[in-house]
């Protein structure tokens, strides 16, 4: 996996096609087994609304199927779907982070779609019966944003291209220098996410959680070194403790202009392009100690009806 993930982020974070499809609420498709239903329900998380409003319009125009669209806050998605299955009112199609046992027996088998559309094999998961119940909907990669206005003001250099590099020790030393020269409140913020933490472990040469000789699963010794490093910089000077301990919004902190660097995901690019105007920012290569690596994650699309499966097709 390392060869593949090393290529995902180089000098900058590539914009990826982010399909975020979520569906719930009242469906008017009638018989859920009818693949030729003239009306389906499509509800999507509010982080990717523009893409799916466009798809809904396109589908209705091309197929003559009315798509009932409703936005749902991403944080409410799991609850919405759980409530929908209790009310026997599941949507036709959804975008989910994982399968929930509450509604897993309601899913359509998507094995033929996975083959037909050549879904990425490394992201295909089969159940015990060999069925594919989820299709990967998007890829997101972890990467590093920096406030270049602060770096330039402090006269501190940073990697300018994909061939350049810096270790975590060098990176922390650099952002401390920027802090001292500019009065920035924090050196960096990092999303309180296992997705971010996992890539951090990879950069220290860890392979994450591995099966042990006794059959148990545990982190390797390099992961311990990485986590101790993370604990030491989460000191309310380099990193604010409030992000990992009390869920303060790291994105808002970075956008305030008072943070030197932000360790987050490539999906932030679209927001930063339109929302940051008070300072200059860039994406740069990740620190390595000694491995340059990112972490690739995905969400999945599922169908609860034959009509929903036809939409996915």
* Domains of the chain, earliest start first: 18-138+299-312 (3.40.190.10), 141-297 (3.40.190.10)
**Which residue stretches of the chain have pLDDT < 50?**
1-30
Concatenating the DSSP letter of every residue in 147-216 gives: EHHHHHHHT-----STT---BHHHHHHHHHHHHHHH--SEEEEE-S-HHHHHHHHHHTT---EEE-TTS-
Quote the longest CA-to-CA distance of the chain: 66
How distant, in Å, are the alpha carbons of 37, 162, 209, 289, 299 from that of 293?
45, 12, 16, 10, 20
- Residue 5: the pLDDT is 37
Contact 263, 191 (CB under 8 A): yes
Tell me the whole-structure pTM to 2 decimals: 0.70
- The DSSP bridge pattern shows strands 259-265 and 281-284 to be unpaired
Closest to 272 in 3D by CA, of 138, 160, 137, 146: 146
d(C-alpha 227, C-alpha 201), whole Å: 8
Report pLDDT for 144. Answer: 97
pLDDT for 308 equals 92
3-state secondary structure of 219: strand
């Amino acid at each position: 996996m390392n060869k593949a993930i090393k290529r995902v982020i180089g000098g900058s974070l590539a914009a990826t096609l982010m399909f975020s499809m979520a569906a719930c609420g009242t469906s008017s498709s009638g018989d859920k087994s009818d693949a030729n239903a003239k009306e389906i329900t499509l509800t999507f998380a509010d982080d990717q609304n523009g893409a799916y409003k466009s798809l809904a319009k396109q589908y209705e125009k091309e197929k003559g199927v009315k798509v009932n669209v409703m936005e749902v806050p991403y944080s409410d998605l799991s609850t919405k779907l759980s409530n929908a299955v209790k009310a026997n009112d599941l949507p036709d199609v959804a975008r989910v982070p994982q399968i929930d046992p509450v509604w897993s027996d309601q899913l359509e088998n998507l094995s033929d779609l996975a083959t037909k559309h050549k879904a990425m094999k490394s992201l295909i998961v089969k159940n015990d019966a060999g069925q594919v119940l989820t299709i990967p909907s998007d890829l997101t990669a972890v990467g590093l944003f920096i406030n270049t206005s602060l770096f330039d003001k402090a006269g501190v250099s940073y990697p300018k291209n994909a061939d350049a590099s810096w270790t975590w020790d060098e990176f922390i030393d650099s952002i401390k220098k920027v802090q001292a020269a500019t009065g920035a409140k924090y050196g960096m913020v990092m999303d309180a996410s296992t997705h971010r933490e996992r890539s951090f472990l990879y950069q220290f040469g860890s392979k994450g959680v591995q099966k042990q000789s006794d059959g148990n699963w545990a982190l390797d010794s390099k992961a311990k070194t990485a986590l101790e490093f993370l604990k030491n910089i989460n000191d309310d000077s380099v990193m604010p403790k409030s992000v990992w301990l009390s869920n303060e919004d790291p994105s808002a902190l970075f956008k305030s202009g008072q943070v030197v660097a932000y360790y987050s995901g490539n999906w932030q690019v679209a927001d930063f392009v339109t929302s940051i105007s008070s300072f200059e920012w860039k994406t740069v290569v990740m620190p390595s100690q000694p491995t340059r690596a990112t972490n690739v994650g995905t969400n999945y699309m599922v169908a609860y009806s034959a009509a929903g499966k036809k939409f996915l097709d």
